[in-house]
Each structure stands twice: as C-alpha cells, then as structure tokens.
Structure 1
Amino acid sequence: MVLSVSNIFSASVDEQFRVWLANDLWPQAKAQGISKKTFEAAFAGVKPNLKLPDLVMPGQKPKTPKAQHQAEFGAPGAYFAEKTVGALAAGGRSRSRTHARALLAAEQRFGVPGSIILAIWGRESGFGAAKIPHNAFEVLGTKAFMATRKDMFRKEVLAALAMLERGAISRAAMKSSWAGALGQPQFLPSSFLEHAVDMDGDSRADIWNSVPDTLGSIANYLDHHGWQKGRDWGFEVIVPENVSCALEGPDRGQKIAQWVQMGIRRVNGKPFPAHEARAQGFLLMPAGRNGPAFIVTPNFYVLKDYNMSDLYALFIGHVGDRIAYGDKSFAGRWGALDKLYRSDIAALQKALEGKGYDVGGADGLPGFKTRRSIGDWQAKNGRKATCFPDAALVRTLK
C-alpha cells in the first residue's frame, strides 16, 4: 500500500497527539484528580480534527488567518440582518410566555431580565433547537494540542474531564460546537463547572435537556460576571461631529450626564432615565462613523464577557429590547464598508503599533482599541476621523 504525503502527515500528527496525551496531558489530569478510566474513556478513538479553524501544525508558527470564521467579528451590518434579529425576537416573545415561571425564578434569583436571558438562549442554540454535532473531546483535545490558543483549551479539556469524573454528563452525550461549547447556553466546560445551576429541582444542572436549568445557568453566568440589577445595557444615541469617535472604550467612561453635556442625545429624543444619567456610561461605535452609536452601561461589558465581541453584546442587548418592548430597528444605518481580510487589518494594526498606538494586539480584529487608534491617527494627519479600517487606510499604512 502506497501512502500519500497527506496521509503520512496525518499519521504523524496522530502519533504526536497520542504521545502528547500520554506524556503531557495525562500527568496533569491525574494530578487534578482524574482517574485513568475516565481519561481513557474520554479519548478512546479520538484523533486530531485537522478541519477545525485556528490550528497550528506541529513545528509551524502561527499566522494571522486570511478569513474570519466567527460572524461576531465580521461586518457589523451583516451581523444584524433583520431576518435573523426579527426571528429571534419573535421566538423570544413566544417563549417568554411559555417559560414565564422559569424566567421569573431566574430573574428573581439572579437579577437579570428575562428578555436578556432569552436573547442569549436564542442566539446560542436557537432556543435549544440547534444541532451540536461534534465530539467534545475531539474538538477540545485537538485545540489543546495544536490551536493558536493552546493554553486556553488545555484548561477547557481538563474541565471537560472533571465533568466526566463528577458524572455531570455521560461520555456519549458530550457533544460540542466546533469551538468546544456545550449545551443550550453553549458554555465552555470551565463555565459549566462555575456557573451551571439546578433550577428544576432534580439535584443536577442539566444544560442539555432542562429549560429551567439552561435559563438559570445563563442568568447565573451574568450575575457572576457583575450584572448590575436595575440598570439597562445601553441606549442608541446621536454623536455630534465635534465629539471624537476616538473617545470610545470601557476605559474612557464618565457619567452619562457628562456625555449629554457634550451634545450626545438619545435617538428617540427622550432624556436618559435619572438613575442612568447619574451613573457611568461608555461610548460605543462598533462601525465607527459608518454605523449606529451607543452609550452603554457596565452591563454591556458583562454581556461581552459571554462572547468577547462588541457586536455579540450589542446583538444580545438589541434582541432583548425587541423581546421586551416590541420590534424596532436601530435608527442609525450600517454604512457600506470595504471588504478586508483579517490579514489586512492585522497589517494595519502592526503599522499603527509601530507608530506608538495601542491597538490591543495585531490579531486582525477591529476592536475598540483599534477603532479609536485609527480615529486618533486620522485626526492627527488631517483626515476625517471615521474610526474604522478601510482599504485606502490599509494601503496608506501597510
């Protein structure tokens, strides 16, 4: 039998993976109380899945991927397609009636509005309807062995082993997304161990089959991350041209009343609630001057802890509002943006870093530090500050 080069390479990776399991991961798992029986059952028949994104082959160096696999880090306008937003809002309103008792129990216990819980449940798993097809130990093992974020996934595969050891779930039922997330709330294993709760009274936290447990676990996660009861997540606003878009970010907050003094106002013309005006708020412009703008509260950044993306947190807040108050799109419109690859944005970030700007790392993702660095550079160089990457800017700075 003649093996192709690809088959030889795959066999080599498989062999290295088995050595890594035996000599590297198993000693640490054993030290954390995992039995040999649990460890062997978890990885029986498991091989690295080389089709997963963000992998670094043994002996190679990581590279910024050209494409972006997660929608949360893609084009802002596309992420808020009305077909998607409207369907989730309608589904949330329907389930707010069906699961009213479970939502009330979660809200009373953890202080998180039911509409926000529903928005996360809908986004993460289609209210429990989404198929979650992957072998969790194949995904987590592969990523702990050869992903760009090996250390993070090493923690998660060890947490998954702890779940098996404690009997939280059977090996056969241990299914995940391609990113290793579990169950209806799409928790990583460490989040399950820290935040999953029993809300239906059967003495086990079941985020795969129990709606009350799922809703309560989502609320518990947000509570543990600092959700401030009684505060909103944020408000859509109009930002005058004389207010710099580079003022964005969670480290540049001030009282909402001070933003108002600068000329920022709500799009609906109403004043901010008095308790909000006295509290701290932050400017958010996820597409710079090419899209809607917001004053957000600390609760926005709690939502962002669920999935480290401004667009994700904004999506959850917006869908939650539409579940609670009825359908109403953003007043601002998402403008057309140049199509750029992650590698293009990473090159732009590296150029700005070379000029002394803090872009939050050259990862190819236009987060708030990158956006405001762009705005600062544009203003200092006599250009209109847009606070968002475009093709001309990439060509100029690359």
Structure 2
Amino acid sequence: MIKRPMRFALGALIATLLYASTGLAASKSEVDAQFRAWLASDLWPEAKSQGISKAVFDQAFSGVTLNFDLPDLVMPGEKPQTPKEQRQSEFGSPGKYFNDKTVNAVTSGGAARAGQYAKILKAVESKYGVPGPIVLAIWGRESGYGSVKIPNNAFAVLGTKAFMATRKDMFRKELVAALQIVEKGYIGVGSMKSSWAGALGQPQFMPTSYLEHAVDFDGDGKRDIWNSVPDTLGSIGHYLAQYGWQRGRDWGYEVNVPQAVSCSLEGPDQGKPFAAWAKLGIARVNGKPFPASETSREGFLLMPAGRHGPAFVVTRNFYVIKEYNMSDLYALFVGHVGDRIANGARGFSVGWGDVGGLYRSDIAGLQKALEKKGYDAGGADGFPGFKTRRSIGDWQTKQGLPATCFPDKDLVKAIR
C-alpha cells in the first residue's frame, strides 16, 4: 500500500506534467506543493546517494518555501520568456565600473584593515603567496569587508533555483553541495546565508567553491566564511593560489601604447615577453621600467575600452584574479584597488572615454556580423570582451580606419 506522503508526491508530479502539457500556469500555492513533492521524490534520493543524512535534509528544508522574487525563474507550465528589446542602455563606458564612490570606499576600508589584520594577512601571503592588498580588495568588493548584509536562506534560494530556474542543473549541483557543507559540520543550517544568487559568506563563494577552496585559517575546526575574518582572508588566498597565483609577481602595470601599436594585439592568447612589449615602445605611465624579473616573462596587453581608456600590460596573475569573477573589469578593479591599498597609488593616468549608450542587443548584433565576416568575436553575448574588441580593431584597420577596438553607434551601423 502506498503511504500518504508518496501518494502526495506522485499527485503533485502528475499535476506538474499536466500543467506543462496544457500550458496552464499553476498558482504559487500549487507550485509550492510541487516543490515539496520534488524535494521528497527527486532531490532526496540524489542527496542520500551523496551521503546526506535524512536529519540534515529535513532540517535544511524545514519551513523553506519558494522565493518567487528571484530572477530567471520559469513557472511550471510556462516557457522561458524571450527578453523584450531593452528600453534602457545596458552597456556604457567601462569607466562606470570605477566610480569614485566605490573605489574610494573599498580603498579606504582596505587601508584601515591592512593594519588591523596585518598579522593574518602576512600569514596568508606566507602560505599562499597572495599579497594582502589583493585579498583585501576582493573582500571589500565582494561584501564591503563583511558589512553587507547577506540575509537570504541559502536553501530557499538554491532550492528555488534548482526547481525552476533557467539553469536548473547548475543550481541543483550547488544545492547538493550546500547540503554537504552542513553534513560535514562546517556550519549549521541556521547560519547558511547567501546572496540572491546563492553565493555564501563574506568571500561570496558558491557552495561548490566553498567545498573546494574554503579553509579553516583560525584553527577552530570550522570553515566559517560568514563570521571569521581569518577564515575569510585565508579562503580568498587559497582560492587564488589554487588557480595558479604566481608568488612574487604583480598583477600588471598601466602603460602608454603608441598609436603605431595596434590595440588588436590585446588578449591572453597573444602574450609577449615584457622586453618585447617595451621594444614596441610600450612603457609604464609612471616612467619606471618594467621590473627586471619580468623581462623574459610573458605579459599580455589589456585595453578594456580600446583607445577610449587606460591600457595595461598584465601578468598571469591578472587572469587568476579573473577566475574569481569572469570579467576584465572586475579583475582590473581588484588589481587597481590593491595597488591603492598597498602604496597609495592614485587613479588611472588616462580617463575613460564617454563611450557606450548601446543596448546589449546592439553589441550582440555587431558580434554576429563580425563572425559572419570570419572574425572570432567570442560569441554574441552582448558584452564587448577582448575577442570582440580586437576583432573590431582588425576590421577597422582593413577598412583603412583608425583602430579604436571598441563599439559605438556608428560602428554598429557600419559593420552591419
């Protein structure tokens, strides 16, 4: 005889299939019921196979309901919505990422904590090779040095997304990892707080990253990235070290790039020895030579706004920072603020041009047009990454135009 909970689970799953086949959207209460059935009949068997106890599973989801306010959800019986044409500009000058308020807040907060946590930071650098100012810049950027409130129940967020987000499989994996964190005793269920995206604690690790990178740096037996500063700093350092941070190297240097040197030389796949960049006439903006230790080592040209902003020659460590957040601007923010924390460095020597004012759909169309012409624009995601920028530069050069390596309205019309 089928017990009542299983009958309820089967009934809810049948209802889900009916809604999907008829195209009728379920009410929120009906979807919540389907969620409870999914937990019991679908997620629990997998969690059990991954070593999760029933006690931990039940405790994690006790009182948890779906959070319908999260983005990128698809209600049962509905199809993912095609985004409407953007009414507001979704992409502007990269300089907006470096607004004075944010940069100054992270810099001043890091400078204050550099002294306060000097002993811990020294220990982190000794063990993992990552300089304290870089660790501080990430901590500040991710959670305002722990001041940003992270109020969400991680199991409600991850459960909702695993049940009905557009990327269910990814969030299901993260949800099981969150259960493993509790099962292993690293943190209690009540302390599992996350962002709306499911990122945990002060370093904002996703659960799978927590399991791989979080460390107990204060020796209390827990990897408490929610409340422990040593664990937070140590975990950030460990993360970067595991992604290949090269001890004793800087992240990069702001440079002047002569007009005769094409901005299309940008990218992590077009590295040259620092000596070769210098031979091309590329020099540091502060007038100092590149460090002698870098002469034969590989550097990479970085021009996030093409000819409309500052330029850099970066080391492999820049791309290690980028592993934390796959954005050139994020990695540049961390490196730049790290320099300001370390030595009081000022802002960039060159301003960011007033470029932008485009929809992401405009840039995606530009990328498609470039790829039809045989260029590798890195896909049509609506973001002008280095492959898009240098493809623009190559196209401009072939048309006899000055290479700017950055999209604008006239360029979008011309290439299309």
TM-score, normalisation: structure 1: 0.91
**Shift in CA distance, 41/80, structure 1 to aligned 2, threshold 3 Å:** same
Q: Does 1:270 align with 2:288?
A: yes
Which residue of 40, 50, 62 corresponds with 2:68? 50
Could you tell me how far apart the structure 1 residues matched to 2:373 and 2:33 are? 45
Per the TM alignment, residue 68 of structure 1 is displaced from its structure 2 partner at its CA by 12
CA contact (8 A) 1:144 1:152 kept: yes
CA contact (8 A) 2:93 2:352 kept: no
Match of 2:359 in 1: 341
**Shift in CA distance, 226/66, structure 1 to aligned 2, threshold 3 Å:** farther
Deviations 1:266-297 (A, max 9, x none): 11111100111221000111111111110000
Q: Does 1:289 align with 2:307?
A: yes
Match of 1:330 in 2: 348
Deviates more, 1:348-357 or 1:251-260: 348-357
Aligned length: 392
Q: Does 1:208 align with 2:209?
A: no
CA contact (8 A) 1:64 1:343 kept: no
Structure 2 residues without counterparts, runs of 5 or longer: 1-23
Could you tell me how far apart the structure 2 residues matched to 1:234 and 1:171 are? 41
Q: Does 1:105 align with 2:101?
A: no
Per the TM alignment, residue 169 of structure 1 is displaced from its structure 2 partner at its CA by 1.4
Larger radius of gyration: 2
Could you tell me how far apart the structure 2 residues matched to 1:158 and 1:340 are? 39
Could you tell me how far apart the structure 2 residues matched to 1:284 and 1:303 are? 14
Per the TM alignment, residue 111 of structure 1 is displaced from its structure 2 partner at its CA by 0.8
Counterpart residue type for residue 351 of structure 1: A
CA contact (8 A) 1:255 1:278 kept: yes
Secondary structure of the structure 1 residue equivalent to 2:301: strand
Deviates more, 1:192-201 or 1:306-315: 192-201
Per the TM alignment, residue 8 of structure 1 is displaced from its structure 2 partner at its CA by 4.5
TM-score, normalisation: structure 2: 0.87
Which residue of 28, 34, 44 corresponds with 2:46? 28
Could you tell me how far apart the structure 2 residues matched to 1:123 and 1:169 are? 24
Secondary structure of the structure 2 residue equivalent to 1:129: coil
**Shift in CA distance, 347/27, structure 1 to aligned 2, threshold 3 Å:** farther
Q: Does 1:60 align with 2:79?
A: yes
Secondary structure of the structure 1 residue equivalent to 2:189: coil
Structure 1 residues without counterparts, runs of 5 or longer: 1-5
Could you tell me how far apart the structure 2 residues matched to 1:133 and 1:233 are? 33
CA contact (8 A) 2:93 2:356 kept: no
Q: Identity of counterpart residues, as a percentage?
A: 65
Could you tell me how far apart the structure 1 residues matched to 2:300 and 2:142 are? 26
Which residue of 154, 161, 166 corresponds with 1:136? 154
CA contact (8 A) 2:136 2:338 kept: yes
Q: Does 1:381 align with 2:378?
A: no
**Shift in CA distance, 166/75, structure 1 to aligned 2, threshold 3 Å:** farther
Counterpart residue type for residue 372 of structure 1: R
Could you tell me how far apart the structure 2 residues matched to 1:131 and 1:32 are? 31
**Shift in CA distance, 64/347, structure 1 to aligned 2, threshold 3 Å:** farther
**Shift in CA distance, 387/261, structure 1 to aligned 2, threshold 3 Å:** same
Deviations 1:50-104 (A, max 9, x none): 33233445542464686699x9x86411111122212211111111111111111
Could you tell me how far apart the structure 1 residues matched to 2:163 and 2:198 are? 14
CA contact (8 A) 2:271 2:300 kept: yes
**Shift in CA distance, 282/151, structure 1 to aligned 2, threshold 3 Å:** farther
Secondary structure of the structure 1 residue equivalent to 2:250: coil
Deviations 1:239-289 (A, max 9, x none): 111211111111111111111111211111111001112210001111111
Which residue of 33, 40, 47 corresponds with 2:58? 40
Could you tell me how far apart the structure 2 residues matched to 1:306 and 1:55 are? 25
Q: Does 1:171 align with 2:189?
A: yes
CA contact (8 A) 2:203 2:225 kept: yes
Counterpart residue type for residue 133 of structure 2: S
**Shift in CA distance, 324/397, structure 1 to aligned 2, threshold 3 Å:** same
